[in-house]
Amino acid sequence: MKNKIKILETFDNQYPHRDYTVTHYAREFTSVCPKTGQPDFAQIIIEYIPNKKCVELKSLKLYLNSFRNDGIFYESVVNFICEDLVKLMKPRYLKVTGEFNTRGGIESVVVAEHKTQKK
């Protein structure tokens, strides 16, 4: 799973002189439970303020699709995506939210945030 980041493509942010926000709502995320082998389903929400790069939408879709047959915990899904996107785009701000469908009567939400450290 280490090399998933290679699926992602970027394009140059043509408006780096301005802070603006981009939010992607991916409503069809699915992966596999690492304990039971059964499929999990989620909505992944990615919100960021670009720096020099934006993530290209079609590559983002393929990247999210690539988790389809991976066994991975909810908490790891959200943080893994967060870390890859930080490494890829070095955004000024990033928040990744995972809203996971009911399992055993329990619905789960995981949220991770990244802020550029001010020097």
Binding site residues, a copy of itself, CB under 8 A: 11, 13-15, 18-28, 30, 35-36, 38-39, 41, 50, 54, 56-58, 60-61, 64-65, 68-69, 73-76, 78-79, 82-83, 101-114
Minimum CB distance to a copy of itself smaller for 56 or for 90:
56
Rounded to 5 degrees, φ, ψ at 60 are -65, -40
Selected catalytic residue, list 12, 33, 54, 84:
33
| Residue 16: CB minimum distance to a copy of itself, A | 10
**3-state DSSP call for residue 98?**
strand
- Report d(CA 71, CA 83) in Å as an integer: 18
**Amino acid identity for residue 110 in this structure:** V
Selected catalytic residue, list 40, 54, 82, 84:
40
Rounded to 5 degrees, φ, ψ at 3 are -95, 10
Catalytic status, residue 54: no
| Residue 103: CB minimum distance to a copy of itself, A | 6
Instruction: Classify burial at 85, counting beta carbons within 10 Å of its beta carbon; exposed 0-12, middle 13-18, buried 19 or more.
Output: buried
Catalytic status, residue 33: yes
Catalytic residues: 33, 40
